[in-house]
């Protein structure tokens, strides 16, 4: 039982397992994105912890959840930094596997003056996470959260085992790609942005329509995030509902989606209804836009609750 900051001790958090990536992020701040063939001078260079899996694990832990991580890293300096991060955040790393001779994942991020970003990822050790390693990490987790920066086969195996054990599965289908139907069948809640929703649906459309179209392919429903336009929840057989965005000043949007996913997962692990968990996620996502860097921007539980999440 984990008592959360600012709340009565009877609040209980069920354990979350995050299956996902760790990347060392190199952020180049540029006035605008370069055109093809153009050389553009960056104004600054910063390095941060990153990777959607690690970011979402940190976001969920800071939102008050008990979190463990299944991941693969190298034996380099970036891997040592990752282990130190997870230890500092109270994230269980017993199911993090180290690979000799394989580099820890890397990401190059261009950040422009509007706070928008473009990202290129080198998977490295992330691409080596095996299905049996992901399944072995399940333990007593009540909710399993995954993304698409580690092998789909590992996530599928863990989701099938988790569903058989009665655990809830939450898939953040990012980066955008076509998914096997078996993975969607094993997914309770699907989280996508507009681009990812269009890729999975095979068409464009209004956010509410896309969410509704995808809801029939998963067990519970779909969360579709749309930045300043807010988010939509579409359950199977029900009309979509809208969660407004929280107004914010955008400094860097890099970690906002991960903050949303992690805080929403923490809310679900706490037993909140889906729309209350969505509001918590939307609040965390807005707070994450206010600071530079993915992990430095991820808000803590007290900040989220103070803003009404």
Inter-residue contact 32 to 113 (CB < 8 Å) = yes
258 is catalytic: yes
Q: How many residues does the chain have?
A: 309
Q: State the Cα–Cα distance between residues 53 and 140, nearest whole angstrom.
A: 19
Please give the Cα distance from 75 to 274 (Å, whole number): 39
DSSP β-ladder status, 241-243 and 231-235? antiparallel
Alpha carbon separation from 115 to 13, 27, 31, 33, 297 (Å, rounded): 34, 12, 10, 11, 13
Helices (H), the chain: 52-62, 77-89, 131-136, 152-164, 181-185, 194-201, 207-215, 256-270, 274-288, 294-297, 301-306
C-alpha to C-alpha distance for 152 and 36, rounded to whole angstroms: 31
Q: Which of 185, 209, 249, 258 is catalytic?
A: 258
Active site positions, annotated: 258
């Amino acid at each position: 039982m984990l008592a959360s900051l600012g709340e009565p001790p009877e609040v209980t958090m069920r354990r979350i397992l995050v299956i996902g990536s760790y990347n060392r992020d190199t952020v180049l701040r540029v006035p605008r994105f370069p055109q093809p063939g153009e050389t553009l001078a960056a104004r600054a260079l910063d390095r941060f912890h990153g990777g959607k899996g690690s970011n979402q694990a940190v976001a969920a832990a800071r939102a008050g959840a008990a979190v463990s991580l299944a991941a693969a890293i190298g034996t380099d300096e970036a891997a040592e930094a990752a282990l130190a991060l997870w230890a500092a955040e109270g994230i269980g790393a017993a199911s993090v596997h180290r690979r000799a001779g394989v580099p820890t994942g890397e990401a190059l991020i261009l950040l422009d003056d509007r706070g928008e970003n473009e990202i290129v990822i080198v998977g490295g050790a992330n691409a080596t996470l095996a299905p049996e390693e992901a399944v072995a990490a399940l333990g007593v987790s009540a909710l399993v959260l995954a993304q698409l920066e580690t092998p789909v086969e590992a996530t599928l195996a863990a989701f099938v085992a988790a569903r058989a054990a009665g655990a809830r599965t939450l898939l953040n289908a990012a980066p955008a790609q076509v998914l096997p139907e078996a993975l969607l069948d094993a997914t309770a809640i699907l989280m996508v942005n507009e681009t990812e929703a269009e890729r999975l649906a095979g068409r464009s459309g209004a956010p509410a329509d896309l969410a509704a179209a995808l809801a029939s392919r998963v067990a519970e429903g779909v969360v579709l995030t749309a930045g300043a336009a807010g988010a939509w929840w579409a359950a199977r057989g029900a009309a979509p509902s809208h969660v407004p965005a929280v107004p914010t000043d955008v400094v860097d949007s890099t970690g906002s989606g991960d903050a949303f996913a992690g805080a929403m997962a923490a809310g679900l692990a706490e037993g909140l209804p889906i729309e209350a968990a969505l509001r918590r996620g939307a609040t965390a996502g807005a707070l994450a836009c206010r600071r530079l860097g993915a992990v430095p921007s991820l808000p803590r539980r007290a900040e989220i609750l103070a803003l009404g999440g």
